[in-house]
Amino acid sequence: MVGEIGTLLIGLSLAVALYTAYAAWRSIQLSAVPATAAQGKTWLQSAQNATYALAGLLGAALLVLLVAFLTDHFELSYVAQHSSTVIPVYLKISAVWAGQEGSLLLWCALQALFAALSTGRASERARPLVPWAMVFLSLISAFFVAVTLFLSPPFTLLAQAPLEGRGLNPLLRHPGMIFHPPALYVGYVGLAIPFAFAMAALITRQIKEWTAAIHTWTLIAWLGLGLGLLLGMRWAYDVLGWGGYWGWDPVENAGLLPWFTATALLHGAVMQEEQRGFHGWNMLMVIFSFALVLFGTFATRSGMIQSVHAYTASNLGGYFLTAIAVTLVGSLALLFTRRAVLKTSSATVENLLSRDGMFFLTLALFSTLTLSVLVGSLLPTLTEVFSGQRFEAGPEWFDRVTGPQFAVLILVIGLCPLLGRGVAALKRLQQLRWVVIAGAVVVPVAAAMAGLTEVFSLIGFAFVGFAGAATLAEFVDGVITRRKRTSEAFLNALWHLLRLQRRKYGGYLVHLGVILMAIGIIGTRMYPFEAQTSINVGQATTVGEYTFIFEELKNDFIADYSTTWANVSVYRGTTYLTTLQPRLNRYTGTEQTITVPALHPALHEDLYLILSGWTSNGETATFKVVINVLVNFLWLGGLIFLAGGALALWPRMANRTWNIVALVVGLFLLIGAGWAMWGMSHGSVSYGGGRPLVGQQAPDFRLSLLDGEMVSLSDLRGKVTVVNFWATWCPSCVDEMPDLQTVWEAYNGQNVTFLGIAYQDSETNVRSALVQYGTTYPVGLDTGDRIAEQYGITGIPETFIVAPDGRVAYVHVGPITADVLSAQLDALLK
């Protein structure tokens, strides 16, 4: 029933999409002739209604699929493949787009929704372009719906409904993966809008205003792509367990390529709207953006490009290649026929060392970047054709080729605000020369002082400092200028500045974000650090400036997977940092194992720990340690980037209340994202103060003794104190009690105190044990496990010997013998 409804909805959608194209086309024909203009209008209205109907139908189909997941309709093959009864609700929702069929349906639904909104709510400027835009958008919709319906239907039924589904791919059970596809699709789908309107502009020869007409949509698509890419990077970092965030995999590149051209388009649009030309550039950028979107889908779904990210090989490849070909040939041909119009309306950029020149450089660089990444992704095919031998471009190739280009872009980001248009150009540069020179010097010097001395990285840092200083100067300058006029407080002025010039300052904010991201990229790419180490239980090992103590290995069963993890205490020198729990999960449904890394973030670097293996008796474990230098600048930069984009998108006409609401919601989201990345533990737990290392100050505590007295460790300064954690229910603790008493009696009178701390025990039992073993040294109960937590004990018995100066002199995990204890005390009492 559910399956049939779903398929029916998709089938109807195809019909409606085709009708829309026809109706829009009819309306164009009829409106061209004054006599039939009224009819034309009717047809146009009908087409518009049809776009809403399409959005409704596909939305409904998506809803049906969602309901099927939520109600465990395992007779649907797609649901059975990606869901199960035991996964939580929020994962069932994201399972809808976990596979090819569902994600295509999501694509179709978004496509239809955007088409309806962009045409139905088009601005005045966009109105003339709507009919043709509708034609193209509905044809694009028809293509995707047809592909979904005939080649990748989500509602196919299984002959027999299984009782339990296979469960969601464990790698996808991460918040990043839930939002990553929808965000990416907003980007991909969104780029069809500027494309359709651009084609409409070409056909109707109204090419001046199209970028302004759909500026918001371009921005939405660009931001969606950016968010999708950032989420993908963070997901890879958190989940994939190799310590990196970008592999230059062809499918990753497939998301990056349209983002490059979309960024170029956004910049070119600024020029076009300021009557500075760039019409041809913008047309090319939008055409390639859409073609690259199709290429991206092709890369992900056809299996023809060697990539580990791709969906398995399917029959979609040929159809997408045809679509790409048709799009490119058609639009470029159209562009060619309209070249006269483009030429006459283009202003010329006069001076390379001007703002216009910088925009030219920006577009040029994004074009070469697109070309570079495209060539890299297709290198095997290209080299085979040209030289007969297949070469592949690895991450090294991409870094080497794109690195310098990105570096120059950062430089351009810095130069642009400094150069005026034309004559005023160098004046601004003059005014700010000390500021930017300071920036260009301070950052590399700071980096070098922190130990980062690679030449190329220092050059990169210099560019970063330069660009950062120039961009920040823009904000300061803007506020100062405004305050001259309005005498507002600084923050007030800043608020109004941002409110009134969203695109400009949103853009600068995005630039700041990119500059910060560049810091993170320089750090991680140029200072990679990775090491393997094996540690025995209870032992310590030093890697770099970190010391790791492998405490123990543990096991558990949760829902549909079993998990094994290691408790590893991490110290820098003698300072306890945290306890990390890298783990390995084994999923029963899909028989997959997933390594889940543990992360300790800090501003200057991330410590990244992976559990790679262990011996069957749990005595030894092997770990991989990755240190990611400066990586948090990448994530921080990403957040600022998104904030800037959101600011640029916020509508001008919003009233005060909406602005405040937006600010609050925006801050809330940013803080939420920040908390998710740095506030939540990624496999790290804090044991109070951790187990104090030898040489560390022993944590002070207050113990309530059984005889009613209260003693604190600090009172015992000047004496050697033996602190013993034990319990009556622990056999080895009980074993060591006679030894402890013996030593106590032998050393009583010398400068030694003993403190017995009973862990999770009852007074009655403790008292009887003391009587039974004749224990005469002071003993107390650790109420609430507070002292145990302070000392980071992970089991009992554990004994600490504290020297007269309060420092830990000796730590013994497990039962201690009289000989060992005496020897230690002798050494200390000397």
Partner 1 sequence: MQNKTTFMIAGLLIVGAVIYLMVSSTGSTAQFFVTVAELQAMGDAAMQRNITVSGAVLGESIVYDAMAPRVTFTILNVPADPKEVERRGGLAQVLHDAVQDPTGPRLEVVYNNVKPDLLQNEAQAIVRGKLGTDGRFYADELLLKCPSRYEEEVPAQAGD
**Restricting to residues 219-248, which ones interact with partner 1 according to CB under 8 A?**
236, 240-244, 247
Residue nearer to partner 1 on the CB measure, 161 or 364: 364
Residue nearer to partner 1 on the CB measure, 356 or 782: 356
CB of 529 to partner 1, least distance (A): 11
CB of 61 to partner 1, least distance (A): 20
Task: Candidates 52-60, 203-211, 355-363, 631-639: pick the segment binding partner 1 (CB under 8 A).
Answer: 355-363
- Beta strands 752-759 and 720-726 are parallel
CB-based burial of residue 263 (10 Å sphere; 0-12 exposed, 13-18 middle, 19+ buried)?
A: buried
Under rule CB under 8 A, residue 352 binds partner 1: yes
Q: Quick one: which H or E segment has residue 612? A: strand 605-614
Under rule CB under 8 A, residue 108 binds partner 1: no
Under rule CB under 8 A, residue 534 binds partner 1: yes
Q: Which of 590, 628, 684, 696 binds partner 1 (CB under 8 A)?
A: 590
CB of 377 to partner 1, least distance (A): 12
Under rule CB under 8 A, residue 525 binds partner 1: no
Spatial distance between the Cα atoms of 338 and 207, rounded to a whole number of angstroms: 10
Binding residues for partner 1 restricted to 668-727, rule: CB under 8 A: none
> Which string of x and - marks every residue 604-643 that binds partner 1 (by CB under 8 A)?
------x-xxxx----x-x-x-------------------
Spatial distance between the Cα atoms of 646 and 644, rounded to a whole number of angstroms: 5
Q: Is 643 in contact with 635 (CB distance < 8 Å)?
A: no
CB of 266 to partner 1, least distance (A): 20
Q: Which of 60, 365, 459, 649 binds partner 1 (CB under 8 A)?
A: 365
Structure tokens at 629: 């230098």
Residue nearer to partner 1 on the CB measure, 29 or 615: 615
Give the helix ranges, DSSP H, for 205-351: 210-213, 215-235, 250-273, 279-301, 316-337, 339-345
Residue nearer to partner 1 on the CB measure, 615 or 714: 615
CA atoms within 13 A on the CB side of 221: 32
Characterise 760 by phi-psi region: left (phi > 0), alpha (psi -120 to 50), beta (else). Answer: left
Under rule CB under 8 A, residue 581 binds partner 1: no
- Beta strands 684-685 and 702-705 are unpaired
Task: Candidates 339-347, 382-390, 454-462, 635-643: pick the segment binding partner 1 (CB under 8 A).
Answer: 382-390
Q: Is 265 in contact with 286 (CB distance < 8 Å)?
A: yes
Binding residues for partner 1 restricted to 390-449, rule: CB under 8 A: 390-394, 396-397, 400-401, 404-405
Binding-site size, partner 1 (CB under 8 A): 71
DSSP state of 149: I
Binding residues for partner 1 restricted to 64-103, rule: CB under 8 A: 81-82, 98-100
Under rule CB under 8 A, residue 562 binds partner 1: no
Residue nearer to partner 1 on the CB measure, 247 or 258: 247
Q: Is 737 in contact with 773 (CB distance < 8 Å)?
A: yes
Q: Is 126 in contact with 197 (CB distance < 8 Å)?
A: yes
Closest CA to 540 of 576, 511, 570: 570
Spatial distance between the Cα atoms of 136 and 156, rounded to a whole number of angstroms: 30
Query: Token match 């203009």: residue?
Result: 37
DSSP calls for 651-669: -TT--HHHHHHHHHHHHHH
Under rule CB under 8 A, residue 476 binds partner 1: no
Under rule CB under 8 A, residue 263 binds partner 1: no
Binding residues for partner 1 restricted to 289-308, rule: CB under 8 A: 300, 303-304, 306, 308
CB of 363 to partner 1, least distance (A): 10
Under rule CB under 8 A, residue 319 binds partner 1: no
Q: Is 346 in contact with 281 (CB distance < 8 Å)?
A: no
CB of 268 to partner 1, least distance (A): 14
Structure tokens at 76: 């649907």
CB of 584 to partner 1, least distance (A): 9
Under rule CB under 8 A, residue 659 binds partner 1: no
How far, in Å, are 268, 273, 282 from residue 277 at the CA level? Answer: 8, 8, 9
Measured distance between the N- and C-terminal CA atoms of the chain, rounded to whole angstroms: 87
Under rule CB under 8 A, residue 190 binds partner 1: no
Q: Which of 299, 379, 467, 494 binds partner 1 (CB under 8 A)?
A: 379
Q: Which of 71, 322, 532, 686 binds partner 1 (CB under 8 A)?
A: 532
